[in-house]
Each structure stands twice: as C-alpha cells, then as structure tokens.
Amino acid sequence: MKTYDYFIILVFSVISNSCGHSQLNLDKINPVDSLRVNNMQDTTLKVDSNNNSSFYLVPEQFTPLIFIKAITSTRHPNFSINLTTILGDFPKNWVRRQHIDSLILLVNSKVKCNCLIRLESSLITRDSSDIGGYAILFINSFRHNKKVSCGLNTCAKTEIESVDEINKWWTKYNRTN
C-alpha cells in the first residue's frame, strides 16, 4: 500500500468515528454510486498502473460549472473536514467565453463548498470555500488568459472587492465585444 492509501484510510476512520460509527466497512462502498452528481456519473474513478483504485477529480474532465457542482454536492454538513482531492492541473483555456455568463451569476454566492487539495498536499484544513470564490477564480483565469491555479490547496472565498472588480470588467467587456 502506498503512503497516501494509508492516509485516505486514516481520514475515513476519523470521519467515521466523528459521526458516531464505530467502524467503516470499505467493502460495502459502491464507488460508482458515491460519485454521482444529480444522476450524472462523474468520471473521477481512476485506476493506476498498480491496479489500485483512487478517487479524485481530474479538472480537464469537467466544465467549470459541473466542477463547482461536484465540489458542492459532495459537501457534508456534519463533517468538520470538507475537501475534494484533485489530480493534475487545470488546462489552459479551460474557462471559455461560453461559461462566463453562468459564472457571473455565481460570483456573489456564499454557499459553502469543499476546499480543493492536491493529491500530493499534506495540509488538511477545516476551512470551507464559497461557490462565489471559485466563480471568481475561474472568471479571473479567463480575464487574464491564464491557467486556473490552486496551488497545493485552495479554499476560495467570495470577496466583495473581487466581485465589484469582475462586475465592472464584465460591463466593459460586454460593451466592446
């Protein structure tokens, strides 16, 4: 077993014990059912070269809105740790013009969602993110023509200054395009 496999089992054990369960039976978990987002199967189950299964989100397999939906729908209000593991980088030009109209509607949202953590990160946070924070992050990557960058972990927050700046940019952008 790899080190991160032990870590995942440890995290599941901590979460299970904090919810009043004495033991977590991993054999009874159906990975396909656990990855459903509103009846749409998510493609986050990957099999590595050693034939071990690992669960994580691969950004290039999502649109920005489906990605936000995935990290929101997996948030559990009774868990003190709400994280989504991502593997790989966000592709350049991942956020496209066609996504901006919908993302603009989300920039003010303070609805809680999961923080993002890269597989190789050792930091576990009890913080949370806001849907608006990720909408801001994604729109800014489009505005500045840069890849979405989350570092080893990100807990994106909705900040009023960023919302105002994006709204001004959006008004100007729509006048010139």
Average pLDDT of the segment spanning 148-170: 95
Average pLDDT of the segment spanning 43-51: 35
Q: Which domain holds residue 27?
A: 3-176
Looking at the 3D structure of the chain, how many domains does it have?
1
Residues sharing a CB contact under 8 Å with residue 3, sequence separation 6 or more, in sequence order = none
Position with higher pLDDT, 29 vs 67: 67
Q: In this prediction, what percent of the chain has a pLDDT beyond 90? A: 48
Q: Is a pLDDT exceeding 50 seen at residue 38? A: no
Q: Mapping DSSP to helix (H, G, I), strand (E, B) and coil, where does residue 145 land?
A: coil
Residues sharing a CB contact under 8 Å with residue 50, sequence separation 6 or more, in sequence order = none
Report the distance separating Cα 130 and Cα 68, nearest Å.
10
pLDDT of residue 56: 81
Q: Mapping DSSP to helix (H, G, I), strand (E, B) and coil, where does residue 130 land?
A: strand
Mean pLDDT of the chain: 75
List the Cα angle 129/29/51 in 5-degree steps.
95
Q: Which two tokens stand for residue 111?
A: 């609805």
Q: Is a pLDDT exceeding 90 seen at residue 1? A: no
| pTM (global) more than 0.85 | no
**pLDDT classification of 55: cutoffs 50, 70, 90:** low
